[in-house]
Amino acid sequence: MRALAALARYRTMNTLDQLKQFTTVVADTGDFNAMRAYAPRDATTNPSLILKAVQQDAYKPLFTETVAQHRGQAAGFVADRVLVRFGMEILKIVPGRVSTEVDARLSFDTKATIAKAHDLIALYEAAGISRDRVLIKIASTWEGIVAATVLEKEGIRCNLTLLFSPIQAAACAEGNITLISPFVGRIMDWYKKRDGKDFAPEDDPGVQSVRYIYAYYKHYGYKTEVMGASFRNVGEILALAGCDLLTISPDLLNTLQGMNEPVERRLIPATKAAIAPIKLDVSEPAFRYAFNNDAMATEKLAEGIRAFAVDSAKLEALIAA
């Protein structure tokens, strides 16, 4: 009877609530007011999302107040404090973690990435926020992965972003990094442009990439969490139901909340894959060669770093103004 009652309750849930039965839902936005309606556990931000948020009337007072507190300081110094201030506000809403991103312009500098991560964590801790509630978000370059490996040993948890290939995922897992964010929609964008066609969710190259990484991790017993990101439609999201985490924009969270479609778990945390994936060599030469041979991953990583760097510079220009 209890099982039947539980099944009946499940069938009356909206699609978002059903998804939460299998997957940790994360809000992908700097607009923390938009999070309240969807009750995500965690939240992710990036320079583009924060730039968009600070230009909204609702957040201008928070932005101006933070800038005024540090008047006369360098724009980059103040930008870090703006990112952390938004992170602090987000943590008042979500019960879990917030991801705060290291400046993309440091993506190829291991030492500078580590130093910036130390600065960001120090700001959170000075505000009374435990480091276990913060994920330092770093681009999945070789240098970024090395930096994150060092930081994890220091107890600073990391989220490796702009991840487009299995070799990036394998290197992160070997580094015992807390979490990775494979970019589903941006992978699909590249293949859509190349092939000149749309993809159904089951054929979506971004969905297939995350499914492969998830199976690879579970087969080899890695503890690194997989968080699908950068979704273009709800079909991609539902095709990854059961993934460790999914970070979703408010627009798509709203769509899922308004749906009553049944959700089927698609990713199962089996200890061994039916067909064992080949263990990848993640030495630096092998990593660089494999990544170089993946045209999609190479192009999308470079494009993502450039875009985040541009928005970081725009944020600093707003501060300077």
Burial of 163 (0-12, 13-18, 19+ CB in 10 A): buried
| Residue 155, CB-side half-sphere exposure with 13 Å CA sphere | 7
Of 137, 272, 279, 300, catalytic: 137
For residue 248 the two structure tokens come to 């979703």
Q: Is residue 2 part of a domain?
A: no
Closest CA to 315 of 51, 59, 112, 76: 51
Q: Is residue 33 part of a domain?
A: yes
Measured between alpha carbons, how far is 256 from 258 in angstroms, rounded to an integer? 5
- Host H or E run for residue 181: strand 179-182
Please give the full DSSP string across 77-112, using - where no structure is assigned: HHHHHHHHHHHHHHHTT-SS-EEEEPPGGGTT-HHH
For residue 202 the two structure tokens come to 């089951």
CB 44 within 8 A of CB 229: yes
For residue 255 the two structure tokens come to 């769509």
Burial of 237 (0-12, 13-18, 19+ CB in 10 A): buried
Q: Is residue 8 part of a domain?
A: no
Q: Is residue 224 part of a domain?
A: yes
Q: Please count the structural domains in the chain.
A: 1
Q: Is residue 269 part of a domain?
A: yes
Q: What is the DSSP letter of 131?
A: G
Measured between alpha carbons, how far is 216 from 220 in angstroms, rounded to an integer? 6
Total number of residues shown for the chain? 321
CB 46 within 8 A of CB 101: yes
Q: pLDDT by residue for the chain (321 residues), tens digit each?
A: 555 555 556 567 999 999 999 999 999 998 888 888 999 999 998 889 899 998 999 999 999 999 999 999 999 999 999 999 999 999 999 999 999 999 999 999 999 999 999 999 999 999 999 999 999 999 999 999 999 999 999 999 999 999 999 999 999 999 999 999 999 999 999 999 999 999 999 999 999 999 999 999 999 999 999 999 999 999 999 999 999 999 999 999 999 999 999 999 999 887 555 667 899 999 999 999 999 999 999 999 999 999 999 999 999 999 998
Q: Does residue 137 carry a catalytic annotation?
A: yes
Closest CA to 250 of 75, 29, 11: 29
For 244, the domain range is: 15-320
Q: Is residue 251 part of a domain?
A: yes
Q: Is residue 7 part of a domain?
A: no
Q: Is residue 1 part of a domain?
A: no
Q: Is the backbone of residue 230 left (phi > 0), alpha (psi -120 to 50) or beta?
A: left
The domain that contains 97 carries what CATH number?
3.20.20.70
